[in-house]
Copies of this chain bind each other. A is one copy, B any other.
């Protein structure tokens, strides 16, 4: 007998952060990506480098699914660990889509672009987690991550 067809409709967790970052932040983002995948959620990000790349890599290491919402017009701009790419062609305005499409957002470091996503997420009523250090904005959940032993 055929198993009933249905979509997976997993939770979608957005990981936001700078497109360029050092090795420590990168390691942290990778851990975040792994944990998201382990829990069966889709990792959603902006699809580019830095935190986005490390988080996607972490998710793929655990067999997860990754979605990148790119600012440009070329899928080739996605990092190597993006399964599904939305090629928005709408530049920074795509930040609103990242926030709106996420069930929750996790910020790993990041600068003004990340701040805009935090703000949009809060505006939309999404849970927003900021890993310390990082933007201190009223309404986010600040979390301190212990270094791995």
Contacts and interface: CB of A to CB of B under 8 A. Distances in A.
Interface in A101-149: 101, 111-113, 115-116, 119-120, 122-124, 137, 139
Contacts of A61: 5
A115 to B, nearest CB: 4
Given A87-B101, A90-B97, 9 more contacts: A7-B78, A7-B81, A42-B84, A75-B101, A89-B92, A92-B96, A95-B96, A116-B119, A116-B123
The 4 closest A-B pairs by CB, nearest first: A90-B90, A93-B96, A116-B119, A115-B119
Interface of A: 5-10, 12, 42, 56-57, 60-61, 65-67, 69, 73, 75, 78, 80-97, 99-101, 111-113, 115-116, 119-120, 122-124, 137, 139
